Structure 1
């Protein structure tokens, strides 16, 4: 719908076009600020037509088919056209006359913009501004009628109105600038507060890191100091219960069993606390090997055989079928199962605890399951089972004791290996704990497949091999001496690092068992001295310690040719691994000529 046409032949017509644009914007109910924008664009485009083409015409239309309706202003001329139009519209054109600045500015002020220019045909610029959606046909008729009755204003009045608009715009800009200054000041104050807060948080985080490091160091130190005497108590109790030094009265046997059980419970708590501290400190390493599930089940069966003291409970290990070799951390998988089995035995008064493994080739995992016929767990309590220090209450559970860390550590170890744990249970319906472990540990480094154990029993040579035990703990020396003597070794013991080093230099030994934490000379220093002397350089050294080693310490000891063995397994009755390693070392030992 055409509202008005203004012909531009002089500066007066440019002012008239601006006035008409402002008038039309008001009649079509555009806000005052939008009317000023339309008038400014019309004035700029009309002046361009007059300056570069000698004149033109301005059409004011309403496009009623659009939603919402659109006020369309078309400014056309028959001038020489615009060169470099694309460069001008892209904002990259500079002109000493200012040509192109008006087009770019008009494009930003209006809702729609289109320009066509060609040599010989002139230039047509078509811009649009969206109108209020409430505008109807009656409003358009009234606007057209008012435009026909109202003559254009004189240039002086138009100039005054324009000046007034400029003053109002300047005032609005000044007010806006003041608000921006106030907001910038607030942001600056806020930034200073945030910087101070970050500094305080960083300081607290550093203190927390230091406290966590101190906690980990303390737990590592205390675990060694606590576990050493506990291992001695357990080992000595096992020797007495085996009647190696004579028979016991029934009462003495019962007292030793109680003492052994209490020491075992305390050792389990210490180990759980240490494992938790290592996981939280990010110091738990994954030692990847390739192993068979059946052999791991065999070791677990031997480990738990003396611990199942309830004649009404059977511990059953199902033979794993169609389960391939696993390439992951055997020690952590074994510990997950040990925690599951110990938990099941604790809460099963009669029936059985069944351990099984099932492969899922499609998912690339093995599900290890431990199912019991115990008291079960209510559904409401199952979500808390794998949390740190969580102990589910209820009959038969409150008196069971423990730290509440076994299942939590199992969950963290499973996640460390890329797997997960879960439980299925119900009140008085038994429990099924499971762990889904990937067949291959993610980002597996180079895997060292362990040598298979020699078949059958280790043969005893005619001449008893000489073995040197170096350990500052009297109970540990006594226990190792007793165990090695039963295996037909000739055992010599030294109560410290310096005396042990002197013994090793006095005569040849087939092997040496060495503790690490000794006050006079640490085991690592003794090992270095042994490797430095020609007479002892080839002696196999087995490190037997309860000390927790970090990767750097393990690597250093292995680089010096020592094998590592945990006292925890030894004192738990699992002596097969140590004895097999010792016999293998003795067979390959090369004694220097005397």
Structure 2
């Protein structure tokens, strides 16, 4: 052989049916010798038999077998004709289903069809395989119909055996697939049941959580109401205890001995401590119940800090701790609720003093470096510090950091939570940083608020059956009115309002005869006074105020907390959508 890339093996001329038989036999024999498997041999022989019969009747039909090495070893068969009709499309499609690498070309009456069947031959054995094929086949071999039928019968038997083997394999695969499907279905059913049970559990848990949440909410509301009511009830006897203790302490020397005076002093100190605790509880309860709202007014920070220093410095537990306050000339202007701010700063400073054994506690006031329109109050100490795992908990009510360094430190765990509540109500934020053994820094940032315009009304009428409170209250009224008329009871107030048409009316609720509720009802029912602004100032706790009967009043203020600023806001111009102030002096429609 002269070319190891394409070696001619055999050329067969096809002129009649006998040649087609020979073509089929040779195709099978050549494919087997070339290394094709039985299925590929049958496919190639069947495809050439189909194409040979299609070409019967054409002139110059030849079939050429060649063994090619590149691009990969393959048996290449070329069917040519020199004169004849184009191939039948159905014959081409049948051959293409058997041999995928098939191409055809037709030019006029002549044409060719090329079939390529890959074979398993190593490149180094290609020349030897071509020689064997050339020796195996001779041009004078013949075949007849019987030989072809026998050959086809053998091919069919082989194909049937292979088909039977494949059928058995498919049966086994189907059985395995059915078992697998049965397992999948069982697993799916099991998973579905588990999911259903889990979903039922989740629904039940969700319902239980909602119920628990409702119970916790109701318990919190009940706790808040309890502390508010109990704190009010405790204040009166505690004030009596403290007052009587002071009276006893002021007795003549011959009336009490030294031991009795010491005991009275202890009673008074204990009563004041208990009163402070009750006040803390009441303030926290009010904050939780939403009964505290800021009453912003211009604050003289220098005076405020001087007052705080005057109260805190003498009560400092350790004289070795230096208490540092800012210079008055360096303080920025501020408009906020002075009472709330005072409580915040006293809580923060008192807390620092309690846990500082040496060094200092410093209060500083500055413009917030990264927030425009904010003022920061910074309380920094050199105390024992707070462990990192406890820093997030110190703002929880009643929580106290555990440790030997806190033994003997009195407290309820309400200071920092209460300070945070007040700072939040004032529209600010509070942050804490601490290092154990190095100290703690708390920063309370508050917004700068524009001061409200002062209110001056031509005439304000007021009624209160308590002469002492009326005397104390009159200067507040005079800050908001050019003329103030105070009347002894509700009946006189209604008559005066109808007759004189004052700019506003201020009335107490608890009065003999015509009480405040009746005054409000009569004024609202009379067209001559229905538009007159009414403000209620009462000693009742918020829980005892019947808000449904006070739907027409501007505000309900507490005698304990009312001041000129709160009164001015209540009697000032009404903004759209604004609500009346509650009995605590602090928010909510009555």
TM-score by length of 1: 0.51
Verify: 1:578 aligned to 2:588, yes or no: no
Verify: 1:358 aligned to 2:366, yes or no: yes
**For the structure 1 residues 58 and 183, does the alpha-carbon distance in structure 2 shift closer, same or farther, using more than 3 Å as the test?**
farther
Counterpart CA distance in 2 for 1:479 and 1:227 is 20
Is contact 1:468–1:492 with CA below 8 Å preserved after alignment?
yes
**For the structure 1 residues 559 and 405, does the alpha-carbon distance in structure 2 shift closer, same or farther, using more than 3 Å as the test?**
same
Counterpart CA distance in 2 for 1:391 and 1:526 is 49
Aligned to 1:408: 417
Aligned to 2:303: 298
How far off is 1:184 after superposition?
2.0
Q: Which sections of structure 2, spanning at least 5 residues, go unmatched?
A: 1-34, 48-88, 105-121, 123-157, 479-483, 574-590
Secondary structure (helix, strand or coil) at the match of 2:563 reads helix
**For the structure 1 residues 528 and 354, does the alpha-carbon distance in structure 2 shift closer, same or farther, using more than 3 Å as the test?**
farther
How far off is 1:407 after superposition?
1.3
Aligned to 1:389: 398
Is contact 1:419–1:437 with CA below 8 Å preserved after alignment?
yes
Secondary structure (helix, strand or coil) at the match of 1:560 reads coil
**For the structure 1 residues 584 and 178, does the alpha-carbon distance in structure 2 shift closer, same or farther, using more than 3 Å as the test?**
closer
CA deviation map 1:534-588 (0-9, x unaligned): 57975864525473589x96x9979623473561x5xxxxxxx725777999999
Q: Which moved more, 1:330-339 or 1:166-175?
A: 330-339
Aligned to 1:462: none
Is contact 2:367–2:375 with CA below 8 Å preserved after alignment?
yes
Is contact 1:505–1:536 with CA below 8 Å preserved after alignment?
no
Counterpart CA distance in 2 for 1:239 and 1:542 is 34
| Correspondence list, 1:313-462, <5 A | 317-319=325-327, 332-344=340-352, 354-364=362-372, 365-371=374-380, 376-377=384-385, 383=391, 385-392=394-401, 398-414=407-423, 417=427, 419-424=429-434, 433-437=441-445, 439=447, 449-451=451-453
Verify: 1:56 aligned to 2:96, yes or no: yes
Aligned to 1:202: 210
**For the structure 1 residues 52 and 587, does the alpha-carbon distance in structure 2 shift closer, same or farther, using more than 3 Å as the test?**
closer
Counterpart CA distance in 2 for 1:223 and 1:51 is 106
Secondary structure (helix, strand or coil) at the match of 2:464 reads strand
**For the structure 1 residues 9 and 229, does the alpha-carbon distance in structure 2 shift closer, same or farther, using more than 3 Å as the test?**
farther
Aligned to 1:543: 537
How far off is 1:372 after superposition?
5.9
Counterpart CA distance in 2 for 1:304 and 1:519 is 44
Counterpart CA distance in 2 for 1:354 and 1:226 is 35
**For the structure 1 residues 581 and 388, does the alpha-carbon distance in structure 2 shift closer, same or farther, using more than 3 Å as the test?**
closer
Verify: 1:173 aligned to 2:173, yes or no: no
How far off is 1:11 after superposition?
14
**For the structure 1 residues 390 and 179, does the alpha-carbon distance in structure 2 shift closer, same or farther, using more than 3 Å as the test?**
closer
Is contact 2:428–2:445 with CA below 8 Å preserved after alignment?
yes
How far off is 1:328 after superposition?
7.3
CA deviation map 1:519-546 (0-9, x unaligned): 9998566545455555797586452547
How far off is 1:405 after superposition?
0.8
| Correspondence list, 1:456-495, <5 A | 468-470=463-465, 477=466, 480=469, 483=472
Is contact 1:543–1:563 with CA below 8 Å preserved after alignment?
yes
CA deviation map 1:34-86 (0-9, x unaligned): xxxxxxxxxxxxxxx99994353689xxxxxxxxxxxxxxx67779xxxxxxx
**For the structure 1 residues 192 and 157, does the alpha-carbon distance in structure 2 shift closer, same or farther, using more than 3 Å as the test?**
same
TM-score by length of 2: 0.52
Is contact 1:7–1:56 with CA below 8 Å preserved after alignment?
no
Aligned pair count? 421
Is contact 2:490–2:513 with CA below 8 Å preserved after alignment?
no
Verify: 1:564 aligned to 2:557, yes or no: yes
How far off is 1:175 after superposition?
2.6
Counterpart CA distance in 1 for 2:210 and 2:510 is 37
Is contact 1:9–1:56 with CA below 8 Å preserved after alignment?
no
Counterpart CA distance in 1 for 2:302 and 2:188 is 73
**1:502 equivalent among 491, 496, 501:** 491
How far off is 1:483 after superposition?
3.8
Counterpart CA distance in 2 for 1:207 and 1:54 is 81
Aligned to 1:100: none
Secondary structure (helix, strand or coil) at the match of 1:421 reads strand
Counterpart CA distance in 2 for 1:396 and 1:278 is 32
Counterpart CA distance in 1 for 2:472 and 2:566 is 14
Verify: 1:265 aligned to 2:305, yes or no: no
Q: Which sections of structure 1, spanning at least 5 residues, go unmatched?
A: 14-48, 60-74, 80-137, 139-150, 242-246, 441-446, 455-464, 471-476, 495-499, 570-576, 589-594
Verify: 1:156 aligned to 2:156, yes or no: no
How far off is 1:406 after superposition?
0.6
Verify: 1:223 aligned to 2:225, yes or no: no
Aligned to 1:99: none
How far off is 1:298 after superposition?
3.2
Counterpart CA distance in 2 for 1:181 and 1:354 is 70
How far off is 1:160 after superposition?
2.9
Counterpart CA distance in 1 for 2:475 and 2:261 is 22
How far off is 1:437 after superposition?
1.7
**For the structure 1 residues 262 and 387, does the alpha-carbon distance in structure 2 shift closer, same or farther, using more than 3 Å as the test?**
same
CA deviation map 1:372-408 (0-9, x unaligned): 68x6547589736444323457899644533121112
Counterpart CA distance in 2 for 1:8 and 1:556 is 106
Counterpart CA distance in 2 for 1:413 and 1:257 is 33
CA deviation map 1:236-265 (0-9, x unaligned): 789989xxxxx9768899999877755543
Counterpart CA distance in 1 for 2:394 and 2:174 is 73
How far off is 1:280 after superposition?
5.9
Q: Which structure has the larger Rg over C-alpha atoms? A: 2
Counterpart CA distance in 2 for 1:562 and 1:284 is 13
**For the structure 1 residues 167 and 314, does the alpha-carbon distance in structure 2 shift closer, same or farther, using more than 3 Å as the test?**
closer
| Correspondence list, 1:106-185, <5 A | 154-185=162-193
**For the structure 1 residues 221 and 249, does the alpha-carbon distance in structure 2 shift closer, same or farther, using more than 3 Å as the test?**
same
